Amino acid sequence: MSNNVFDENAGRLLGPSETKPMKEAYHQSKLASGHKENEITRSEFFGLTHVNRLLKQPGCVGIRVHYAKRWEDDNGMPMEQGKGKFNSRILLTGVDARGRDLPVQTGSGGLKDSDSDGEMVVGDGFPCPQHCGDKN
């Protein structure tokens, strides 16, 4: 076993007996702090295209989940500070064996409205409860 935590084997698979109480504790803490039932984001969905793009970067050994917040309208579109709702969001980055984030390169000249350095992270997943599958 490697002494380096940043390798392909980091983390472990958890069963429902462990994860169900964890999810419930999160949900109950949100309700206790005044959030309304239909405003509690339980998860975000990210498609394989973008996740695979992270994983296929040279030197990538895993994914880091960043917890973030931003002002959004009711459809999850970004708004200026102080407008709309201040929602929790998730950002994903690839990580190398030294624990450094590997932002995805946009390639040819960057994406429309991207930062000038051309590096991107995966974000804007589809949040649940607005977009939940069965049994979530």
Q: In this predicted model, what pLDDT tens digit does every residue of 52-80 receive, in sequence order?
A: 999 999 999 999 999 999 998 887 889 99
106 has pLDDT over 90:
no
- Estimate to the nearest angstrom the gap between the alpha carbon of 25 and the chain centroid: 20
- CA 127/CA 136 separation, integer angstroms: 12
* pTM score: 0.79
pLDDT for 108 equals: 46
Q: Output the six-digit token pair for 78.
A: 């970004």
Average pLDDT for residues 6-17, to the nearest whole number? 93
- Provide the residue type at 73 as one letter: D
> What is the percentage of the chain residues whose pLDDT exceeds 70?
86
Q: In this predicted model, what pLDDT tens digit does every residue of 81-101 receive, in sequence order?
A: 999 888 889 999 999 999 999
Q: Output the six-digit token pair for 100.
A: 């450094």
- CA 99/CA 121 separation, integer angstroms: 16
- Taking residue 97's Cβ as centre, other Cβ atoms within 10 Å add up to 15
